[in-house]
């Protein structure tokens, strides 16, 4: 009797384990398919962007509008966030000096490196996804639901060239440019506030040369590749989610929320992966 | 020289060739089941009567190569839509004028931008496009030409339907289409323009453009008295040739 009961329990357990493994496998497969889909869209967009014939007048207009909306209109929000972060960084600088007893000259370079390597690309991604990424997903979903994609297709206008490629490209360009704006603003705000509070006693020229001395070519390569890859993935995720909508106009709200979460998750994951690949470290831990 | 004479002199490439295997719905015997094998020649006019507007959905995308037929093929000027490159597909579609019964406009563009979009995308010069529109505006808009001109700078959501319908006709007709697909084109068109529209279609057909007209009603008298039309129909969701039946 006891053996039989044990057998039943063990059967249940095994079934549970198999079912769990099955779900994990399904979820992994789903993620692999999504990744393949994103890579396909990025490949097609890169191919179209490098083909001069794709750049017809309407595509150029669409690209300029997207850059204006995503990058230029995003500058005030970026400045606000970066200014606030500059103040936070100085507060941290002061706290670290109090805690570990180092000098401004030893602690400041570490913070500036963090700003350029990690904070400014991430902040730029947050601004662009929050302002434009969700709007792009929503707009494309609305176009799909209201039959506008068929209108374009029927007239011989390729939606991939006209709608998707300029949006992805504008997100890449915007994230790169806004990350530069944010990095410069954080450093400048930080210097001004620190100088006013008496935390930093260096003249501006000395401060700038100190910051630039602490940057090297690897940082520039890392910064550029991070902003480009994160921007491309964020753009592709926003477009794919918008265009994949199935259903009615009421489903658009669902797409909007999903776009934001998925794009941000991808950006954070890419940041972590690139940090590991470039510096061989995850936070303070050496990998390999 | 008559059209019949031209047709006998040399083989004419059909504008459309349809080879569709129609599946018999399971519920009852359907005479429409079997293969629908037809050609549409340049200058021909096909009138397709349907029971519901939803009947447009499988057939118009099929004719335009937007969707593939599960069993059969559609060729446009001898080219199977699904065996040619995407690039060529888009170029060929830009030569087809379509008047939509449903959504017809990109809402975040103005009406004028909507009219220009496909042509600009094919690299047609802006001045040439404006010239064509100015040429076709009085012809298709008649006494409404001024109202149409005023609406060109507005977004479609702010323009009344009859004016939008005229703008759709301009978009479809003005750039020398090789085929017209008209979905209930008279539906919201001001009554006074019906005769002008049919005359215009006739002129286009005479210049070699094929026309496929989908509608819920029987062909209007205005049409039958002025043109030779071939009648097809969509019955039980299947395409049938009424003259062969």
Question: So what's the pLDDT on residue A240?
Answer: 95
Q: Do B103 and A147 touch (CB under 8 A)?
A: yes
Q: Are A47 and A168 a contacting pair, CB within 8 Å?
A: no
| Rounded (5°) CA angle B176-B180-B186 | 115
Which one has a higher pLDDT value, A195 or A97? A195
The rounded distance, in Å, linking the Cα atoms of B188 and B168 is 11
Residue A269: per-residue pLDDT: 92
Q: How far apart, in whole angstroms, are the C-alpha atoms of residue B176 and residue B15?
A: 14
- Predicted pLDDT at B90: 93
Torsion of CA A39, A134, A162, A121, to 10 degrees: -60
Nearest CA in chain B to A62: B109
Q: How far apart are CA B67 and CA B81, in angstroms?
A: 9
pLDDT higher than threshold 80 for residue A249: yes
A142 alpha-carbon distance from chain centroid: 23
| Cα gap A123→A82, rounded to integer Å | 8
Residue B99 has pLDDT above 60, yes or no: yes
pLDDT of residue B9: 60
CA-to-CA dists, residue A189 to A195, A210, A251, B230, angstroms: 10, 16, 42, 76
Burial of B4 (0-12, 13-18, 19+ CB in 10 A): exposed
Six-digit token pair at A107?
A: 């602690």
- Mark out chain A residues that contact chain B at CB-CB < 8 A: 56-59, 139, 143, 146-148, 150-158, 162
The answer to which of A177-191, B119-133, B187-201, B231-245 has the lowest mean pLDDT is B231-245
**Residue B245 banded pLDDT, cuts 50, 70, 90:** low
**Comparison of pLDDT for A248 and A112, the residue scoring more:** A248
| Highest mean pLDDT, choosing among A163-172, B46-55, B75-84 | A163-172
pLDDT in tens, A32-79: 999 999 999 999 999 999 999 999 999 999 999 999 999 999 999 999
Does pLDDT of B29 surpass 60? no
Report DSSP letters for B74-137, one per residue: EEETTEEGGGS-HHHHHHHHTTEEEE-SS--S-TTS-HHHHHHHHHHHTT--HHHHHHHHHHHH
Phi, psi of B231 (to 5 degrees): -105, 125
- Residue A281's pLDDT band, with cuts at 50, 70 and 90, is low
Residue B82 has which token pair?
A: 């699904």
Average pLDDT, rounded, for chain A: 88
Average pLDDT (B201-227) is 87
Q: Which of B66, B98, B117 sits opposite A58 (nearest CB)?
A: B117
What is the per-residue pLDDT for B1? 44
Tell me which residue in A57, A151, A157 faces B103 most closely, judged by beta carbons: A151
For chain B, what's the residue count?
245
Mean pLDDT, rounded, of chain B? 86
The C-alpha atoms of residue A232 and residue A224 are separated, in whole angstroms, by: 12
pLDDT at residue A219 greater than cutoff 90: no
Distance from CA of A54 to the nearest CA of B (A): 9
Residue B97 tokens, joined: 């004028």
Query: Is there a contact between A233 and A270 (Cβ–Cβ < 8 Å)?
Result: yes
pLDDT of A106 > 80? The answer is no
Contacts of B102 in chain A (CB under 8 A): 147
Which residues on chain B are in Cβ contact (under 8 Å) with A252? none
Lowest mean pLDDT among A126-140, A262-276, B21-35, B71-85: B21-35
The reply to whether residue A156 touches residue B104, judged by beta carbons under 8 angstroms, is no
CA distances from B112 to A108, A143, B144, B148 (A): 57, 19, 16, 10
B96, β-bridge pairs: B179
Q: Does B93 touch chain A (CB under 8 A)?
A: yes
Q: What is the pTM of this model?
A: 0.86
Residues B84, B90, B94: CA angle, nearest 5 degrees: 130
**What's the pLDDT band for B226 if we cut at 50, 70, 90?**
confident
Flag whether pLDDT at A220 surpasses 90: no
Whether the pLDDT of residue A198 is over 80: the answer is no
**List of chain A residues whose C-beta atoms are within 8 Å of the C-beta of residue B94:** 155-157
Q: Write the DSSP string, B139-200.
A: HHHGGGHHHHHHHTTS-GGGS-HHHHHHHHHHHHHTT--SEEEEESTTSSS-GGGHHHHHHH
Question: Chain A closest CA to B101's CA: distance in Å?
Answer: 11
Higher pLDDT, A39 or A109: A39
CB contact under 8 A, A57 and B120: yes
> Is any Cβ of chain A less than 8 angstroms from the Cβ of B54?
no
- Between A32-36, B176-180, B215-219, the lowest mean confidence (pLDDT) is in B215-219
Of the two residues A199 and B190, the one the predictor is more confident about is B190
| Model pLDDT, residue B10 | 67
Residue B171 confidence (pLDDT): 95
Q: Between A180 and A275, name the one with better pLDDT.
A: A180
Contacts of A31 (CB under 8 A, 6+ apart): none
pLDDT at B202 over 70: yes
Q: Tell me whether residue B5 is exposed, middle or buried, using C-beta atoms within 10 angstroms of its C-beta: 0 to 12, 13 to 18, 19 or more.
A: exposed
How many CA within 13 A on the CB side of residue B76? Answer: 25
Q: Rounded to whole angstroms, how far apart are CA atoms A230 and A178?
A: 13
Cβ proximity of B178 and B209 under 8 Å: yes
Cβ contacts (< 8 Å) between A54 and chain B: which residues? none
Q: Is the pLDDT of residue A288 over 80?
A: no
Of residues B92, B103, B118, nearest to A148 (C-beta): B103
Higher pLDDT, A230 or B27: A230
- B118, A57 in Cβ contact below 8 A? no
| Closest by Cβ to B123, choosing from A56, A150, A158 | A56
Per the model's pLDDT, the better-predicted residue between A98 and A147 turns out to be A147
From B3's Cα to the closest Cα of chain A, the distance in A is: 29
State the smallest CA–CA distance between residue B126 and chain A in angstroms.
10
Other Cβ atoms less than 10 A from the Cβ of B74: the count is: 21
Q: Taking each helix axis from N to C terminus, what angle separates A217-243 and A252-279, rounded to the nearest 10 degrees?
A: 160
Q: Is B88 on the interface with A (CB under 8 A)?
A: no
- Residue B228 contacts by C-beta under 8 Å, 6 or more apart in sequence? B45
């Amino acid at each position: 009797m006891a053996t039989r009961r044990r057998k039943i329990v063990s059967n249940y357990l095994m079934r549970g384990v198999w079912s769990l493994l099955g779900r994990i496998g399904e979820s992994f497969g789903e993620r692999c398919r999504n990744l393949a889909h994103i890579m396909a869209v990025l490949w097609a967009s890169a191919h179209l962007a490098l083909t001069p014939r794709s750049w017809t007048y309407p595509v150029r207009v669409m690209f300029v509008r997207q850059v204006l909306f995503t990058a230029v209109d995003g500058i005030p929000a970026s400045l606000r966030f970066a200014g606030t972060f500059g103040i936070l960084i100085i507060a941290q600088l002061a706290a670290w000096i109090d805690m570990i007893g180092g000098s401004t000259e030893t602690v400041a370079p570490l913070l500036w490196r963090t700003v350029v390597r990690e904070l400014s690309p991430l902040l730029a991604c947050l601004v662009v996804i929050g302002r434009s990424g969700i709007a792009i997903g929503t707009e494309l979903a609305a176009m799909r639901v209201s039959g506008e994609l068929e209108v374009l297709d029927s007239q011989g206008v390729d939606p991939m060239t006209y709608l998707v490629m300029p949006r992805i490209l504008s997100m890449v360009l915007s994230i790169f440019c806004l990350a530069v704006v944010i990095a410069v603003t954080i450093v400048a705000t930080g210097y001004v506030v620190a100088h006013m509070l008496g935390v930093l006693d260096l003249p501006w020229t000395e401060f700038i040369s100190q910051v630039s001395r602490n940057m090297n070519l690897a940082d520039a390569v890392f910064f550029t590749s991070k902003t480009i890859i994160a921007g491309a993935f964020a753009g592709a995720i926003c477009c794919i989610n918008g265009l994949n909508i199935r259903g009615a106009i009421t489903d658009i709200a669902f797409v909007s929320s999903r776009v934001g979460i998925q794009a941000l998750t991808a950006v954070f994951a890419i940041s972590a992966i690139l940090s590991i690949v470039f510096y061989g470290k995850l936070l303070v831990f050496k990998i390999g | 020289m008559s059209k019949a004479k031209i047709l006998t002199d040399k083989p004419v490439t059909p504008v459309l060739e349809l080879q569709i295997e129609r599946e018999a719905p399971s519920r009852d015997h359907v005479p429409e089941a079997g293969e629908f094998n037809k050609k549409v020649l340049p200058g021909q006019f096909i009138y397709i009567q349907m029971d519901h507007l939803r009947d447009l959905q499988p057939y118009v995308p099929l004719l335009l190569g937007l969707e593939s037929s599960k069993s059969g093929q559609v060729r446009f000027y001898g080219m199977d839509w699904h065996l040619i490159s995407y690039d060529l597909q888009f170029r060929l579609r830009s030569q087809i004028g379509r008047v939509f019964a449903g959504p017809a406009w990109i809402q975040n563009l103005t009406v004028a931008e909507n009219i220009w979009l496909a042509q600009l995308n094919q690299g047609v010069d802006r001045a040439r496009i404006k010239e064509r529109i100015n040429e076709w505006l009085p012809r298709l808009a008649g006494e409404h030409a001024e109202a149409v001109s005023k609406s060109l700078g507005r977004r479609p959501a702010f323009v009344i339907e009859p004016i939008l319908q005229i703008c759709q006709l301009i978009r479809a007709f003005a750039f020398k289409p090789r085929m017209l697909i008209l979905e209930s084109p008279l539906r919201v068109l001001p009554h006074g323009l019906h005769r002008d529209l049919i005359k215009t279609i006739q002129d286009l057909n005479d210049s070699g453009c094929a026309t496929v007209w989908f509608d819920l009603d029987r062909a209007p008298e205005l049409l039958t008295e002025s043109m030779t039309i071939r009648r097809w129909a969509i019955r039980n969701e299947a395409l049938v040739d009424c003259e062969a039946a």
